[in-house]
Amino acid sequence: MLCYYWFASKALLDSSKTSMQNVVLKQAEFIEYWIEERERYIANLAAEEFLYTKDRTAVQAFLEQKFPQSLDFSVLKMANIEGITIAASSGPAGIFVGDRDYYLAAVYGRPGHTYISEVLFSRASGIPSLVIASPVARGDQVVGVLIGVVDMERISRLLCVLDLGQTGESFLINKQGYLLTEAKYAQELIQKGVIQGSVVLNLKSGLDTERIWYSQSGTVRYQDYRGRPVLAAYYVMPEMKWALVIKKDIEEILARTGEHALGIGLLIGLAASLLFLPVFMVIVKRLIEEPLCSLAGAAQRIAAGELGCTVDNLASPWEINTLTQSFNTMSTRLKEYHFRLLAQVDLIETQKAELGYQNEELLRAQTGLLEINR
């Protein structure tokens, strides 16, 4: 059974590795496609001539008009060449973003290329966000940057649609190992005082990110941020500088092993019972059935008048041997009682004969007296 448990555990882990790796690859493809859609939207919007031919008020109205169709962006912004936002679909303008990597890449990077930032805290809202930036150009001259901001909470909701079991969860991490999306057990960590507020960019996953970025995809067993042993599958998305991770507690994965072991144990027990049933029946026949048949036969012989017959002790259970000994004792005593009864009958017959003879003598004497008296 221990061997079975080991093999069953290994089989379950191997199966989980394969299925989790397939899931993480499919989910990563979906996330990449989701980001690409928003890249294309910002790139197409940045190519609008309207953005650099109209004044600030007109650009503001344009962004407000486009925002309802903006594919989950929390805000659309336009920054001028000085790095200051001049218009926004919502919220304040006039915020300096000229030192942000995404802004510098859009202004000084490859012409016409759209850039994706690392996850950062928005200066306007303070919320962990992803920024997609595309240069607004008049000919070959960059005159501003169009910015689309996505709250990471929106991407967290995308990951929550996965059904990973009771303990499973998925999240994104950066190369430093920090979570970029919310954790399933965030409230538990907050209650324990491990973190305060959002886990994004505040909580490390516990994974060896150097190994993950080296191998790009695979599975690994490790202690997660709760200190629990888990099995994880990961996939690195180089363009976003992210890795998608899905994980599940080892305990939950192996819980099915006990159920399987119980079922196999019952099957083995049943098979063993069927295998040894003939042997068991022979033993029962030898130890119980044959002695009982011998006792029954002896009882029938006694009933037929063969008093004193006995049964030999066989290799039987103690109870059967005791019953045999009691039967033999009873049979012997019945024979003795029979002989005593016969002796008593003979004695009575002898005494009866003597009484008859004496009666005849008395009768003759009585007859003689009668003759004399006449």
The residue out of 229, 254, 279 marking a domain boundary is 254
Residues 172 and 107 in one domain: no
The residue out of 127, 154, 181 marking a domain boundary is 154
The residue out of 219, 254, 289 marking a domain boundary is 254
Residue 75 lies in a domain: yes
> What total number of domains does the chain contain?
3
pLDDT at position 344 is 74
Of 43-57, 112-126, 292-306, the one with minimum mean pLDDT is 292-306
Residues 192 and 250 in one domain: yes
CA neighbor of 181 nearest in space, from 189, 190, 171? 171
Of 26-40, 243-257, 331-345, the one with minimum mean pLDDT is 331-345
Residues 339 and 193 in one domain: no
Q: Which domain holds residue 143?
A: 47-154
pLDDT > 60? residue 166: yes
Residues 179 and 241 in one domain: yes
Residue 263 lies in a domain: no
Residues 168 and 133 in one domain: no
Residues 167 and 20 in one domain: yes
When pLDDT is averaged across residues 304-328 and rounded to a whole number, the result is 64
180: domain CATH number? 3.30.450.20
Of 27-31, 99-103, 207-211, 269-273, the one with minimum mean pLDDT is 269-273
pLDDT at position 52 is 81
Supply the pTM of this predicted model: 0.66
Of 27-41, 71-85, 348-362, the one with minimum mean pLDDT is 348-362
pLDDT > 80? residue 258: no
Residues 21 and 96 in one domain: no
Residue 287 lies in a domain: no
When pLDDT is averaged across residues 316-329 and rounded to a whole number, the result is 65
Residues 327 and 346 in one domain: yes
Q: Per residue in 188-228, pLDDT tens?
A: 888 888 888 788 999 999 999 999 999 999 999 999 999 99
